[in-house]
Amino acid sequence: MEQFCLSFQVGQQDENKLLRDFLKEKQISKGALIDIKFNGGALHVNGSAVTVRYVLHKGDTVEVFFPKEEPSEDLIAEAIPLDIVFEDEYVLVVNKPAGMASIPSREHRHGTLANAVLGYYQLKEICATIHIVTRLDRDTSGLMLIAKHRHAHHLFSLQQKEFGVKRRYEALVHGELTGEASSAGGKVDAPIGRKDSSIIEREVRDDGQRAVTHYEVLRIGSDWSHVTLRLETGRTHQIRVHMAYIGHPLLGDSLYGGSDVAGMSRQALHSCELSFFHPVKEREMTFRCSLPKDMKKVLGES
């Protein structure tokens, strides 16, 4: 298995700069450099090993070899098919089905997306452990972003702090969203915290964390509305809590007051669009995936 490596060309603006300062500007943290030094990584310039005190010259080729990663012994690799939407050396975008947890838990150690990704990595001899950037609930379907190395994950974490990783969802909610919501969309700005009586359930509460959800109505049915949603914040169960809070819980979401409609026995929520700035290739990327069959059935689509 090859080590994860980043390569940079030194331009005129970096002439006579210390390698340490150059790498800091490339958002390689001090902790990462310590890890490289003591755990099997390397810094090369023009093919030769150097230290962070090396003085750069225009035209130099800098290579940063990160230590090999070892997955947790508690995570079991499994040969589970993945719906891969995009892949390169740094990231993986997958379309997760409803009913699959993102990561293992004490009660469910097998069959998760993390198990499937680790099995895929081992099959392809990819030297990485699991770094999920955008997690979804077990019964939420759609696009997820996974970094192939802890440094790539670190770069995405910096983006997330600046809301650089964007997701759009589609959902089916109970009732008819009317008035302003049906014409121009709406916004829920209400703090979310853990419910005192539950370790799982969340609720809108004054002492919660700020949470903002934007939504727009796409279609209104006999007893449901088809909406698209965008998050300003990323709180646990945010969409589910906010829609229930305004009196329109998701179809099938029994935890937050929804009920089954047309066989919709899980929360009718799908991550349909994912956008981010690729931290290595330095370009915007957007991916989309269509609704799953159970949600299409409610909409009367094939």
> Per residue of the chain (302 residues), what is the pLDDT tens digit?
567 899 999 999 999 999 999 999 999 988 899 999 999 999 999 999 999 999 999 999 999 999 988 888 889 999 999 999 999 999 999 999 999 999 998 878 899 999 999 999 999 988 789 999 999 999 999 999 999 999 999 999 988 888 789 999 999 999 998 644 445 578 999 999 999 999 999 999 999 999 999 999 999 998 899 999 999 888 999 999 999 999 999 999 999 999 998 889 999 999 999 999 998 898 999 999 999 999 999 999 86
Sign of dihedral through CA atoms 297, 100, 88, 23? positive
Write down the pLDDT at residue 1: 54
* Residues 127/4, Cβ–Cβ less than 8 Å: yes
Of 8, 15, 13, the closest CA to residue 44 belongs to 8
Sign of dihedral through CA atoms 185, 188, 194, 195? negative
CA 140 to chain centre: 13
Q: How many CB atoms lie within 10 A of CB 127?
A: 17
* Catalytic option among 14, 137, 139, 294: 137
Q: Is 137 a catalytic residue?
A: yes
Q: How far apart are CA 141 and CA 34, in angstroms?
A: 39
The full set of domains in the chain, from first to last, is 5-65 (3.10.290), 69-162 (3.30.2350.10), 166-271 (3.30.2350.10)
Q: How far apart are CA 276 and CA 55, in angstroms?
A: 33
Beta strands in the chain (DSSP E): 5-9, 42-45, 48-49, 61-65, 84-87, 91-96, 131-132, 141-147, 166-174, 186-189, 192-194, 202-204, 212-220, 224-231, 269-277, 284-288
Three-state DSSP state, 272: strand
Tokens representing 261? 């409609």
Q: How far apart are CA 263 and CA 266, in angstroms?
A: 9
* pTM exceeding 0.95: no
* Residues 189/241, Cβ–Cβ less than 8 Å: no
- Between strands 141-147 and 91-96, the pairing is antiparallel
Distance spanning both ends of the chain, measured CA to CA: 43
Three-state DSSP state, 150: helix
- Using the 8-state DSSP alphabet, how is residue 18 labeled? B
